[in-house]
Amino acid sequence: MNGAAGAHYDEGVSEIIELARRARVASYALAEASRATKDAALRAMAGALRANTDTIVAANAKDVAAAREAGTPESTVDRLALNPSRVDGMAAGLEQLAGLADPVGEVVRGYTLPNGLELRQVRVPFGVVGIIYEARPNVTADAAGICLKSGNAVLLRGSSSAAASNDAIIAVLREAAESAGLPADVVQGVPTDRAAVKELMQARGLVDVLIPRGGAGLIQTVVSESSVPVIETGVGNCHVYIDADADLDLGLEILLNSKTQRPSVCNAAESLLVHASVADEFLGRALPALAAAGVTVHGDPAVVAAGKDVVAATEEDFGTEYNSLDLSAAVVGSLEDAVQHIRRYSSGHTDAIITRSQAAARRFTQAVDSAAVVVNASTRFTDGGEFGFGAEIGISTQKLHARGPMGLPEMTSTKYVVTGEGQIRS
């Protein structure tokens, strides 16, 4: 678990194992650092990012030029590109973290046992966290900050196409952490070759948790290949179900917001279900409104029959997270049919019901087993910021450890502290 589990790496130590060991050593100091020290480090990191804006933007320009030369789509280049305003945004994010409560040391539960032993369950850092992510250099500062505040040393494995940007940012963050009295190794970059990521996924005992942040392909690879425990984030095939008792005005507004307010993100709606008893009226209004908003509807036969410009949906459509202005749609005969459909196709991220019926809301929220189940509101609210967490490392769609938006407490484990005066078992 701790040092012992790393012992079998002794021979032929690779660069990754060496990085992970340094992270482990740094994690001991970080775990014991006071909130004051950690917040000072976060503010120092923010200041250093701002002071080194020119260096960071210049490094980023190399990545951007290489990406353009390689014919990278402009939307990807946009996520990769930094400018002084974006660097300032990264710094502001770190300062915001400094203002949040420290999860470490929180007593989750505590009581005295019949034999007088005092039991406390206390939040502690995981130790060493690995983040595997794509070509978004802002994630580098963001993830480093969240890990630092939650007491975890971090191994940042970004994309090779953002390597110059990440190297520049990490160098700045490390120096700033050290200036605040923490080991520089609380933040480390990991080589971007494939062999390195494979080793990272096998470093069980040295790395406590891996969090992949990015597309479905990346996440699937990490989930299936890692022997280090993984927190799966992200995929959102989110549903909006218009119940027989729905307020249709409200339903239409929520549907449009869920689908079109930011279609590329995981909490955007991808599928519409409408109760048969209100299908004619609702689709008669919704289909033109969706078309006007640029949305292509992929409908089942009942939806196709209800409007023009509806594309016939395939089975695959209902299981698809489009992340675009596309929407699958079906008419269901009952609330139970809607539940069955969601059980079959939902990715377990966010599913919403629009209804005035207390019984329907209660049934839906009980029967639909997703990270977030929403009544009469947009699916777009499933977000650490919107939930008031102040910071978010991702949205977990797995059931183990954390589910839904993950803030600082979700980046911790716990330990039991048991205090006695000589108690023994008989």
Task: Give the footprint of a second copy on residues 82-111 (CB under 8 A).
Answer: 111
Q: Which helix (H) or strand (E) holds 20?
A: helix 15-32
Of 2 and 14, which CB lies nearer to a second copy in the complex structure?
2
* Total binding residues toward a second copy, as defined by CB under 8 A: 86
Q: How far apart are CA 251 and CA 354, in angstroms?
A: 6
Footprint on residues 162-201 left by a second copy (CB under 8 A): none
* Residue 257 CB, nearest approach to a second copy (Å): 4
Q: How far is CA 361 from the centre of its chain?
A: 27
Write the Ramachandran bin of 394: left for phi over 0, alpha for psi from -120 to 50, otherwise beta. Answer: left
Stretch that binds a second copy, among 11-19, 57-65, 293-301, 385-393 (CB under 8 A): 385-393
**Which residues 6+ apart lie within 8 Å of 223 measured at CB?**
212, 230, 232
Q: Based on C-alpha coordinates, what's the Rg of the chain?
A: 24
Which member of 92, 107, 305, 400 binds a second copy (CB under 8 A)? 400
Which member of 229, 244, 323, 390 binds a second copy (CB under 8 A)? 229
Footprint on residues 282-301 left by a second copy (CB under 8 A): none
Footprint on residues 231-260 left by a second copy (CB under 8 A): 231, 235, 237, 247, 250, 253-254, 257-258
* Residue 312 CB, nearest approach to a second copy (Å): 20
Distances (CA, A) of 309 to 243, 260, 287, 296, 305: 24, 18, 9, 8, 10
* Residue 12 CB, nearest approach to a second copy (Å): 19
Q: Which helix (H) or strand (E) holds 55?
A: helix 53-69
403 interacts with a second copy by CB under 8 A: yes
346 interacts with a second copy by CB under 8 A: yes
Stretch that binds a second copy, among 88-96, 118-126, 167-175, 329-337 (CB under 8 A): 118-126
**Which residues 6+ apart lie within 8 Å of 388 measured at CB?**
none
Of 175 and 253, which CB lies nearer to a second copy in the complex structure?
253
Which member of 127, 130, 145, 189 binds a second copy (CB under 8 A)? 127
Stretch that binds a second copy, among 81-89, 112-120, 167-175, 189-197 (CB under 8 A): 112-120
52 interacts with a second copy by CB under 8 A: no
Note the helical H segments in 128-247: 137-149, 163-179, 194-202, 216-225
Distances (CA, A) of 399 to 17, 122, 147, 177, 342: 29, 22, 21, 34, 17
